[in-house]
Amino acid sequence: MTTGAAAALGHAVTAQAARLRVAGLTVRFHLPGATVHAVTEAAFEVEQGRCLALIGESGCGKSVMAHTLLGLLPGNATVTGSAWLEQPGRPPLDLIAAPERVLAREVRGRRIGLIPQSPAAHLTPVRTARAQLTEALRELGGRYTADELAERAGLRPHELDRYPHQLSGGMAQRVANAIALAGDPWLVIADEPTTGLDRPLVDATMAELRRLCDDGHAVLLITHDLRAAEQVADDVAVMYAGRIVEIAPAADFFRAPRHPYAAGLLDALPTRAFTPIPGQPPELTRLAGGCAFRPRCARADDACAVRPQITPDTPVACHHPLERHA
Ligand SMILES: Nc1ncnc2c1ncn2[C@@H]1O[C@H](COP(=O)(O)OP(=O)(O)OP(=O)(O)O)[C@@H](O)[C@H]1O
Ligand code: NI
């Protein structure tokens, strides 16, 4: 193929708006004598200018989803499905099929930034926050200075001169947030970015994520904190036992969730009914057939022995969803 033809082909398949398009994403961990069904047939899109919040109880597969997109899974994992990163002017890239070399050189930190869960564990103990942020900037060649990034993350310049053990949990979180943005990545994946932060800092962090979206970036926000999600998310995806069970615009979702599990999560909030969902999520090594939420669900009946599907036309995986009136 000539260069011109290749360029024309590249142009023809280039997207109009930047987006991440995930389809059929499935992750298994192989343990001696058991298989963990960590993520099953996940499908969603995040477009530029938008924030998708991924919510669900501990262990439902949220962090595994984040690590899968960045090629950060351990050797005992197998992944199927696709995750297309589409940005105008670049050929689309399937993050699942891409070789590690490409993920390391082009994707991690540059096209996708990760704000990791438990950031303190990701900082080097013997170097100051400034040294680590400066190194990230040198490596990734971003357009902000260390002080600018620190300020955007809500840190004062002198706080950058501390060593990790001199940082509170909240400060370590903000240092991790600043490092994740060093390479000016298009997509930011924030895995519980507000753990250990008090309300004003949660609000500031959500405002920063919102500002990123408004600047044309996209954000995948993984969180337990539904109030934080409500502040910033445009769309919400609810995960249960490794599957996405509801996707909705955030305004509709917080007004009237449709999946009984999603309704249960909102009812558990202190600001709402403050009633926990009875029972526990199933173990991901021994999932029965049918709807995984069935044993905990007040609406379940015999129909739920057949697993309900989520599709673009019915964005709730439930045989008996709650009604949403206009
Ligand atoms: N390397 C691994 N080997 C085996 N199982 C794993 C591995 N990593 C994660 N898992 C399992 O995959 C499932 C999903 O884990 P994940 O960390 O994605 O949950 P999460 O939704 O992020 O939870 P939390 O809210 O507690 O962070 C869990 O059952 C977990 O034990
Ligand atoms: Ni997690």
DSSP per-residue letters across 74-109: -TTEEEEEEEEEE-TTS--EETTTS-HHHIIIIIBT
Q: Is the CB of 61 under 6 A from ligand 1?
A: yes
Q: Whose CA is nearest to atom 12 of ligand 1?
A: 38
Please, what are the domains in the chain? 3-111+185-305 (3.40.50.300)
**pLDDT tens-digit readout, 105-136:** 999 999 999 998 888 788 999 999 999 999 99
Residue 21: beta bridge partners? Answer: 45, 84
Residue 15: pLDDT band with limits 50, 70, 90: low
| One-letter amino acid of 326 | A
Sorted by sequence, the CB contacts under 8 Å of residue 115 that are 6+ apart come out as: 176, 177, 180, 188, 189, 190, 191, 193
Distance 224 CA to ligand 1 centre (A): 14
Q: Which two tokens stand for residue 188?
A: 């930011």
Residue 6: pLDDT band with limits 50, 70, 90: very low
CA atoms of 96 and 160, how far apart (whole Å): 35
Distance 288 CA to ligand 1 centre (A): 19
Mean pLDDT within 186-190: 97
Ligand 1 atom with least separation from CA of 284: 29
pLDDT at 243 over 60: yes
Q: Is the CB of 62 under 6 A from ligand 1?
A: yes
Neighbours of 309 (CB within 10 A): 10
Sheet holding 218-222: strands in order across? 112-115, 187-191, 218-222, 51-55, 235-240, 243-249
pLDDT at position 7 is: 43
The percentage of the chain sitting over the pLDDT mark of 70, rounded to a whole number, equals 95
| One-letter amino acid of 316 | V
Ligand 1 atom with least separation from CA of 66: 18
* 113-124 as b/e: b if 16+ CB within 10 A: bbbbbebbebbe
CA atoms of 216 and 47, how far apart (whole Å): 9
Q: Is the CB of 42 under 6 A from ligand 1?
A: no
| ipTM of the shown complex | 0.99
The percentage of the chain sitting over the pLDDT mark of 90, rounded to a whole number, equals 82
Q: Is the CB of 63 under 6 A from ligand 1?
A: yes
Best substitution site from 37, 64, 220 to test ligand 1's pocket, by max atoms within 8 Å of Cβ? 64
Sorted by sequence, the CB contacts under 8 Å of residue 300 that are 6+ apart come out as: 291, 293, 294, 320
